């Protein structure tokens, strides 16, 4: 009798099924692959060696299709029959790694570590899981080697991380994310992997048709992810559709975001049978909560200059409210969004980032906020709306800026004179300089205007430091600071200036590189092709 005959499979039949599985594997026909593996599992029920191998391969196919609970069930069935089966251990480790269960994944890889060939690959997976587990706990990211290599090679893997934050009722209505302890500028608050991202190369920024293709691709990916994973669907349902009353919005338990739900098979949330997706609700959620990849940072740190249109859904960051005086910023690395403090944040302070360009006058920001469906009442907007002394000058300057006044230098000098005569506090000066940043930039970019007006305004580096205090990190402000420092027209001695440059760099990108790699990061970003459309 042939080896597999007692299980309903002779050697010839088994070989044919294995050949079918190989062909389907190469075609990436995962449904067909799972079907063939199932036939082998059913036929080889009492042959432990064949059974365990088929279960491990079926687990891989199920994982590829997003059926993580099924994949883990197959792995556990194989390991129940043979606790040391290497393929089952590797398959389970891969599933747990994808779920962010890095310590458990490391245990699987350690147990699967072979003595001979292949050991290096498994050892690399083990070390990677150890590193990601430490990162998931600490939020510490170090991309120095990648930056110094000019972003060559694969984007580094990141672990999801939830730092010292929680969701609470916001004083401005609805919900918001709050710091539960103080965080210094550059510190990581969260690292979130996108549910899905739609990306495309849009040659013309006005090409609505191309953008609709990107949007449709993105929506399809979100619906697919929600259909495959009940936990993902339940997280999406925690987000606002924009139609609820603010007091109707539940405050979700932070355990949802820390991957601490009830577990099935060492790490997959069953989330209790979800039934059919509420597609209409999900579409409304996406309209309100989708975020664009923070363009220059995404281009630099995630997409290597080839993608210029990206939209995604990051669940916990979507709960962060807008402010024109934000205290955080997103840096995009691959499919992950790193939310870091762009200035020092006090315990109990609401975490905010800008939904749109806040280097604009208050009138333009008001229009942008209305397009998002809200009215910004941050301290900066309230000051510019309500200050009786400066209101007329703000309105006049905004009108000149919007209508393209011929001499931006004159506008800047008049604004600086008005602030000096009105004894405006430094914080409010920073707000106004941020609002008229384009005028200051036009002055500093124009040698003729700078020769005419330069002596009557603070240096470019001084203005950059001031604006950074109002809006946190920003590439254009960082570039001005670097240029001002290099021109020697700065604000302090060399060490003081270098410290200010690093602080603005930390506010812009977070603590993603060590200090020695910071210059390379600046050079790659700020000396690149600034004509690119992001």
Do 215 and 130 lie in a common domain?
no
**Number of domains forming the structure of the chain:** 3
Question: Does 533 score more than 50 pLDDT?
Answer: no
Location of structure tokens 């009830």? 262
Is 427 within a domain?
yes
- The model's confidence at residue 534, banded by pLDDT at 50, 70 and 90, is very low
Do 320 and 422 lie in a common domain?
no
Mean pLDDT of 141-149: 87
Do 403 and 469 lie in a common domain?
yes
Average pLDDT, the chain: 85
Boundaries of domain holding 308? 161-351
Do 225 and 279 lie in a common domain?
yes
The reported pLDDT for the residue numbered 51 is: 92
CA atoms of 161 and 158, how far apart (whole Å): 9
Do 244 and 346 lie in a common domain?
yes
Percentage of residues of the chain with pLDDT beyond 90 = 53
* CA 340 and chain centroid, separation: 10
Do 227 and 293 lie in a common domain?
yes
The reported pLDDT for the residue numbered 526 is: 59
Is 153 within a domain?
no
Per-residue pLDDT reduced to its tens digit, 39-58: 999 888 778 889 999 999 99
Per-residue pLDDT reduced to its tens digit, 223-276: 999 988 888 999 999 999 988 887 788 899 898 887 644 444 444 444 444 578
CB 211 within 8 A of CB 202: yes
Dump the DSSP string for 138-154: H-----HHHHHTTT-SS
CA atoms of 461 and 444, how far apart (whole Å): 10
Location of structure tokens 């008001």? 366
The reported pLDDT for the residue numbered 66 is: 82
Question: Does 13 score more than 70 pLDDT?
Answer: yes
Question: Does 305 score more than 60 pLDDT?
Answer: no
Question: Does 3 score more than 50 pLDDT?
Answer: no
| Domain end position, chosen among 325, 351, 377 | 351
Do 179 and 125 lie in a common domain?
no
Which tokens hold the place of 365? 């920001």
| Domain end position, chosen among 351, 378, 412 | 351
Pairing of strands 291-292, 196-200: unpaired
Which tokens hold the place of 430? 């920073």
Q: Choose the weakest-confidence range: 269-273, 344-348, 397-401, 412-416.
A: 269-273
Question: Does 166 score more than 70 pLDDT?
Answer: yes
Which tokens hold the place of 371? 């397009």
Is 463 within a domain?
yes
Do 367 and 345 lie in a common domain?
no
Location of structure tokens 């027209």? 489
CB 249 within 8 A of CB 174: yes
Is 155 within a domain?
no
User: For the CA atoms of 242, 246, 250, 251, what is the dihedral angle to 10 degrees?
Assistant: 110
The reported pLDDT for the residue numbered 99 is: 86
3-state secondary structure of 473: coil
Q: What are the backbone angles phi and psi of residue 317, rounded to the nearest 5°?
A: -60, -30
Question: Does 12 score more than 70 pLDDT?
Answer: yes
Domain of 239, CATH number, reads 2.170.270.10
| Domain end position, chosen among 317, 351, 385 | 351
Nearest to 510 by CA among 47, 163, 209, 180: 163
Question: Does 300 score more than 80 pLDDT?
Answer: no
- Could you tell me the CA-to-CA distances from 471 to 190, 488, 504 in Å, in that order? 20, 24, 11
Nearest to 512 by CA among 483, 465, 466, 473: 473
Question: Does 199 score more than 70 pLDDT?
Answer: yes
Do 390 and 521 lie in a common domain?
yes
Do 132 and 166 lie in a common domain?
no
Q: Choose the weakest-confidence range: 108-117, 218-227, 312-321, 373-382.
A: 108-117
* CA atoms within a 13 Å half-sphere pointing along the CA-CB vector of 201: 7
Is 356 within a domain?
no
CA atoms of 314 and 317, how far apart (whole Å): 6
Question: Does 413 score more than 90 pLDDT?
Answer: yes
Is 2 within a domain?
no
The reported pLDDT for the residue numbered 441 is: 93
The reported pLDDT for the residue numbered 298 is: 55
Question: Does 450 score more than 80 pLDDT?
Answer: yes
Q: Choose the weakest-confidence range: 154-168, 197-211, 392-406, 494-508.
A: 197-211
Total H helices, total E strands in the chain: 24, 11
- Residue 318 makes CB contacts below 8 A (sequence gap 6+) with 239, 289, 290, 291
Most confident of 2-11, 99-108, 285-294: 99-108
Is 366 within a domain?
yes
The reported pLDDT for the residue numbered 205 is: 54
Left, alpha or beta for 173 (phi > 0: left; psi -120 to 50: alpha)? left
Q: Choose the weakest-confidence range: 47-56, 342-351, 435-444, 514-523.
A: 514-523
pTM for the predicted model, two decimal places: 0.87
- Residue 525 makes CB contacts below 8 A (sequence gap 6+) with 296, 300, 475
The reported pLDDT for the residue numbered 116 is: 60
Do 382 and 522 lie in a common domain?
yes
Do 206 and 68 lie in a common domain?
no
CA atoms of 89 and 94, how far apart (whole Å): 9
Nearest to 440 by CA among 422, 421, 466, 420: 466
């Amino acid at each position: 009798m042939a080896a597999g005959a007692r299980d309903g499979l002779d050697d010839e039949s088994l070989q044919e099924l294995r050949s079918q599985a190989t062909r389907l594997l190469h075609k990436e026909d995962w449904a067909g692959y799972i079907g063939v593996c199932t036939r082998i599992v059913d036929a080889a029920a009492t042959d432990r060696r064949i059974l365990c191998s088929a279960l491990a391969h079926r687990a891989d196919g199920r994982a590829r299709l997003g059926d993580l609970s099924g994949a883990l069930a197959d792995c556990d069935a194989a390991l129940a029959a043979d606790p040391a089966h290497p393929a089952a251990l590797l398959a389970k480790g891969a599933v747990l790694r994808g779920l962010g269960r890095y310590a458990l994944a490391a245990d699987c890889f350690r147990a699967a570590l072979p003595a001979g060939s292949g050991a290096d690959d498994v050892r690399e997976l083990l070390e990677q899981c150890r590193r990601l587990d430490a990162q998931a706990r600490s939020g510490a990211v170090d991309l120095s080697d990648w930056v110094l290599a000019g972003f060559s090679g694969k984007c580094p893997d990141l672990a999801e991380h939830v730092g010292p934050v929680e969701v609470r009722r916001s004083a401005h209505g609805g919900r918001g994310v709050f710091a539960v302890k103080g965080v210094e500028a550059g510190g990581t608050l969260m690292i979130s992997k996108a549910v899905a991202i739609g990306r495309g190369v849009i040659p013309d920024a006005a090409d609505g048709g191309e953008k609709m293709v990107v949007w449709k691709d993105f929506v399809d990916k979100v619906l697919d992810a929600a259909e495959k994973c009940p936990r993902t669907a339940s997280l999406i349902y925690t987000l606002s559709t924009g139609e609820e009353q603010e007091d109707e919005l539940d405050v979700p338990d932070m355990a949802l975001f820390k991957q601490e739900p009830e577990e099935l098979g060492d790490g997959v949330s069953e989330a209790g049978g979800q039934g059919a997706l509420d597609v209409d609700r999900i579409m409304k959620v996406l309209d309100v909560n989708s975020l664009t990849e923070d363009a220059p940072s995404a281009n630099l740190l995630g997409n290597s200059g080839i993608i210029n249109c990206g939209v995604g859904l990051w669940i916990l960051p979507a709960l962060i409210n807008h402010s024109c005086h934000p205290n955080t910023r997103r840096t995009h690395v691959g499919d992950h969004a790193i939310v870091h403090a762009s200035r020092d944040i006090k315990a109990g302070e609401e975490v905010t980032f800008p939904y749109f360009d806040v280097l604009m006058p208050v009138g333009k920001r008001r229009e942008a906020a209305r397009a998002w469906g809200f009215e910004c009442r941050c301290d900066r907007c309230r000051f510019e709306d309500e200050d009786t002394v400066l209101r007329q000058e703000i309105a006049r300057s905004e009108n000149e800026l919007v209508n393209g006044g011929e001499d931006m230098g004159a506008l800047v000098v008049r604004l600086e004179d008005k602030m000096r005569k009105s004894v405006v506090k430094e914080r409010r000066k920073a707000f106004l300089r941020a609002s008229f940043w384009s005028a200051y930039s036009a002055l500093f970019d124009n040698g003729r205007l700078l020769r005419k007006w330069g002596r009557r305004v603070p240096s470019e580096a001084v203005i950059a430091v001031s604006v950074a205090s109002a809006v946190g990190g920003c590439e254009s402000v960082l570039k001005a600071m670097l240029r001002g420092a290099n021109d020697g027209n700065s604000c302090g001695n060399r060490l003081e200036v270098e410290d200010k440059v690093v602080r603005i760099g930390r506010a812009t990108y977070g603590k993603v590189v060590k200090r020695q790699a910071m210059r390379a990061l600046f050079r790659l970003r700020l000396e690149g092709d600034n004509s690119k459309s992001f």
